[in-house]
Amino acid sequence: MPKDTEFKTKARLLRVMRSIVERPYGYTKQHFAEEYGVHEDTIKNDLALFSELGLELDRDKRYRLAFKQNRTLKKISELLYFSEEERALLYEAIRNLRTTPEKQAQLIQKLHALYDYSRLGFAYLRKPHLTKVELLEQARSERRMVLLEGYRSSNSSQVSDRLVEPFHIVPADDMVHAFEVDKRAVRHFRLTRFVRVKLTDTHWAHEGSHNIMKTDPFRIVTNKQVNVHLRLSVGAYNELIERYPLTRGHIEATSDPNSFDFQADVNSQFFGLSNFILGFYHLDIEVIAPESLREHLRGEVGKMRF
């Protein structure tokens, strides 16, 4: 097996293991196959390997996975989990090691592979943000409702408190998947848009409605996605990755050193993407596919009034 393939396999195994440890009965085999772009049989083999290592798996009625509690699981959990603060300390420790830059880069790459650390940025290392993440994780673990205080909504342009059941926290995506009690629906909240988290003594009452949905590179959460293909100039490439850092992993160089290809599944309404294309059309952005994106852009241009 080539070294790069072997590394990707190990990284996937650890990520799958970490996900099941952190959120028992939260993911299915199909979810992991879609998440990592592999066949379900590949994930089936991963799960079989876990069993060989002494990690006995369990499934609920919806085929969501969990590890049965045993001594092996306890040891694995202790090894796999790092808080955001611990990850920051590890990162700094690696930078200060008395070793070669190449070895430092290798260690950092492994940390990135486990936690997608490169997507976080320094804002995520500040104490207020870490406190929010820790409280949300505590609420998720203890199945308690929380109050997101001072949430700034782009839709309503209002600031208000939201009573929610947080069931999936993704600091790297700046996202909390939660059931909002007042609206009786799953909603998605940006970690950076509320002031603080207040734990309540009320336990979850709507766990059956908890459902994790896909997040696209523009941080739009929806399972209704379409694949898009763009050809970008150097200027457009720079603007895209700087404004939407998650797009970086979906961009490849072309045979032309002055152009780049962006291919990814994005929300079917093209939120974020259409704003980028229309705002920077002068930087040479070519829509290769799909035709529905071209039609959407024409429609948006037709609505413009000056």
Q: What percent of the chain has pLDDT over 70?
A: 80
Q: Quick one: pLDDT at residue 128?
A: 62
Residue 122 corresponds to which amino acid?
F
Q: Quick one: pLDDT at residue 179?
A: 95
Q: Which residue has the higher pLDDT, 52 or 121?
A: 52
Q: Quick one: pLDDT at residue 279?
A: 94
Q: Give, in order, the Cα–Cα distances in Å from 126 to each of 85, 131, 197.
A: 9, 9, 15
Q: Quick one: pLDDT at residue 51?
A: 83
For the ranges 114-128, 130-144, 158-172, the lowest mean pLDDT is seen at 114-128
Task: Give me the mean pLDDT over the 222-246 stretch.
Answer: 92
Give the alpha-carbon dihedral of 179, 182, 184, 190, to 10 degrees. Answer: -30
In CATH, which of 2.30.30, 3.10.50, 2.60.40, 1.20.140 is domain 126-209?
A: 2.30.30
CA distance 177 to 168: 5
Q: Which of 229, 211, 230 is CA-nearest to residue 165?
A: 211
pLDDT(140) > 60: yes
Banded pLDDT at 24 (limits 50, 70, 90): confident
Task: Give me the mean pLDDT over the 248-255 stretch.
Answer: 88
Contact yes or no for 227/290 (Cβ under 8 A) = yes
Check if 3-80 and 225-303 are the same fold. Answer: no
- Helix, strand, or coil (residue 288): strand
Banded pLDDT at 180 (limits 50, 70, 90): very high
Domain 3-80 is found in CATH 1.10.10.10: yes
Contact yes or no for 127/188 (Cβ under 8 A) = no
Q: Quick one: pLDDT at residue 119?
A: 43
Domain boundaries, the chain: 3-80, 84-119, 126-209, 225-303
Q: Give, in order, the Cα–Cα distances in Å from 211 to each of 164, 182, 205.
A: 14, 17, 14
Contact yes or no for 173/212 (Cβ under 8 A) = no
Q: Quick one: pLDDT at residue 124?
A: 45
Task: Give me the mean pLDDT over the 194-202 stretch.
Answer: 93
pLDDT(292) > 70: yes
CATH class of the domain defined by 225-303: alpha beta
Contact yes or no for 281/270 (Cβ under 8 A) = no
Q: Quick one: pLDDT at residue 96?
A: 72
Output the six-digit token pair for 53: 């290592």
- Helix, strand, or coil (residue 81): coil
Phi, psi of 52 (to 5 degrees): -65, -30
pLDDT(120) > 50: no
Q: Which of 177, 133, 198 is CA-nearest to residue 26?
A: 177
Q: What is the pTM of this model?
A: 0.51
**8-state DSSP, 68:** P
